[in-house]
Amino acid sequence: MCLSIFTSLLGPLSPPALSKQLQVHCLRSVDNLFVVVEEFKDFQFKKTKEEALKDFEDLAGKLPWSDPLKVWEVNTCFKKKKTKCKKMSQNSNKERIGNRRDKLDEKDIRGFTDNALDSHILDYYENPAIKEEISTLVGDDLASSKDETDEHSKEETEPQVLKFRVTCNRAGEKHCFTSNEAARDFGGAVQDHFKWKADMTNFDVEVLLNIHDNEMVVGIALTEESLHRRNITHFGPTTLRSTLAYGMLRLCAPQPTDIIIDPMCGTGAIPIEGATEWSNCYHIAGDNSPLAVKRAANNISSLLTKSQIKESKSSWGLPIDAIQWDSCNLPLRTGSVDIIVTDMPFGKRMGSKKRNWNLYPACLREMSRVCRPGTGRAVLLTQDKKCFAKALSGMGHVWRKVHTVWVNIGGLHAAVYLLKRTPQAFVHSSEQDGERGTPW
């Protein structure tokens, strides 16, 4: 999910006031943030490419950049950097933005920086192991990577000019220009307007041009590394974003002392997010693959080490355990679990559609056994909706489907189902068989 921030909704734009507003960085279900420069609900794109691109050029000088740039500047303190940490002091930012915008009061900046450094919002960590996925379209001739090495040596001696790039995301059939052309021409005009320097990889400001049919939003990115990059250091083939894991857990409203399991945990993204955000519950991460369990255990240990380092004292640990098990035959008592949250194999990268026809009914049945009748709930993610619907259709006596949330997982249209455990007691198949089959 992407969260857009409108400066008109932020209230006073002094740095201390903004520091409060920028607590949006603490939101657990948001991947990326940007501040809106201007939103056009119905932009009249011209019919020919030349005219449409000329409009992009003209637009750059007319936009209300000043307030969004103040937000961007204050945000620098909060932003979780990618692997390379570009240390820019507030003052150097101020110089580099140049003459075209209002300057922030020196005292405010100093006061703000002191506050911000004390703030828990800075409790981020870097994960050099992760590569950012960027689907960015940048004007090719805005910047050449050849210049980059020269620039690094010049940086130390010359007064710094801000570096920027334009990223255009375009959806819709009717445009007579490509996103690359829009980014290139709009970027050229932004460069002329601010006298900034274009740089595709080592940029300070990322200007966003989001176009969807006739709707266009110009924004400035406030996140450099997506906020879902937390918790996980040992990745698997289908590691779930922590932001989505958080959303799934929230759907079943965990209560203190609840026992929450992920019977097919993979790298443990869901139970680890659960243990960090709902630490008054007990979480169990299980998988039938020894490699997955090892990864989950490694992720738990890395997180513990990190929190020990951060708090520079012995940590109390996390309320989570990892175990190898078969989700169709869980080593748990009947009716002992309050919440089940899991991301089932889609049958694409993990497992197969054919195997799902056996797996889904078997594990839904086993989940109905361990889940507490009357109050238990399950949140299950799958893209194999047909197989899931078929499996669930035979279990109306134990599961009631309450809600479906549609999600996009790497371009796949998937569903998150919220199920409630009915009050009906679980009946073992042997008992059922007994009932049906006694010949006397």
Site string for ligand SAM, 285-314 (x = CB under 6 A): --xxx--x----------------------
Q: In the complex with ligand SAM, which residue's Cβ is closer, 314 or 429?
A: 429
Task: Count the Cβ atoms, other than its own, within 10 Å of residue 201.
Answer: 12
What residues pair up with 5 in beta bridges, in sequence order?
35
- Distance of alpha carbon 78 from alpha carbon 91, whole angstroms: 16
Q: In the complex with ligand SAM, which residue's Cβ is closer, 76 or 267?
A: 267
- Distance of alpha carbon 192 from alpha carbon 420, whole angstroms: 58
What is the 3-state composition of the chain as percent helix, strand, coil, each rounded to the nearest 5? Answer: 40, 20, 40
Q: In the complex with ligand SAM, which residue's Cβ is closer, 215 or 321?
A: 321
Contact status: 236 vs ligand SAM (CB under 6 A): yes
Residue with token string 């911000």: 116
Contact status: 370 vs ligand SAM (CB under 6 A): no
CB of 137 to ligand SAM, least distance (A): 29
- Distance of alpha carbon 263 from alpha carbon 244, whole angstroms: 17
Contact status: 240 vs ligand SAM (CB under 6 A): yes
Task: Count the Cβ atoms, other than its own, within 10 Å of residue 66.
Answer: 14
CB of 75 to ligand SAM, least distance (A): 29
Buried b (16+ CB within 10 A) or exposed e, 396-430: eebbeeeeeeebebeeeebbbbbbbbbeeebeeee
CB of 28 to ligand SAM, least distance (A): 16
CB of 177 to ligand SAM, least distance (A): 39
Q: In the complex with ligand SAM, which residue's Cβ is closer, 14 or 336?
A: 336
CB 360 within 8 A of CB 368: no
194 to 165, 204, 205, 238, 352: CA distances (angstroms): 12, 13, 12, 42, 53
User: Binders of ligand SAM: how many residues, by CB under 6 A?
Assistant: 23
- Which residue's Cβ has the minimum distance to ligand SAM? 266
What residues pair up with 208 in beta bridges, in sequence order?
167, 219
CB of 284 to ligand SAM, least distance (A): 12
What residues pair up with 421 in beta bridges, in sequence order?
399
Q: In the complex with ligand SAM, which residue's Cβ is closer, 317 or 410?
A: 410
Among the residue ranges 181-189, 284-292, 407-415, 416-424, the one whose residues contact ligand SAM (CB under 6 A): 284-292
Contact status: 328 vs ligand SAM (CB under 6 A): yes
- Distance of alpha carbon 284 from alpha carbon 11, whole angstroms: 43
Site string for ligand SAM, 93-132 (x = CB under 6 A): ----------------------------------------
Among 345, 347, 361, 376, binds ligand SAM (CB under 6 A): 345
Among the residue ranges 22-30, 282-290, 388-396, 420-428, the one whose residues contact ligand SAM (CB under 6 A): 282-290
Q: Which residues bind ligand SAM (CB under 6 A)?
A: 236, 238-240, 263-267, 269-270, 287-289, 292, 326-328, 343, 345, 350-351, 359
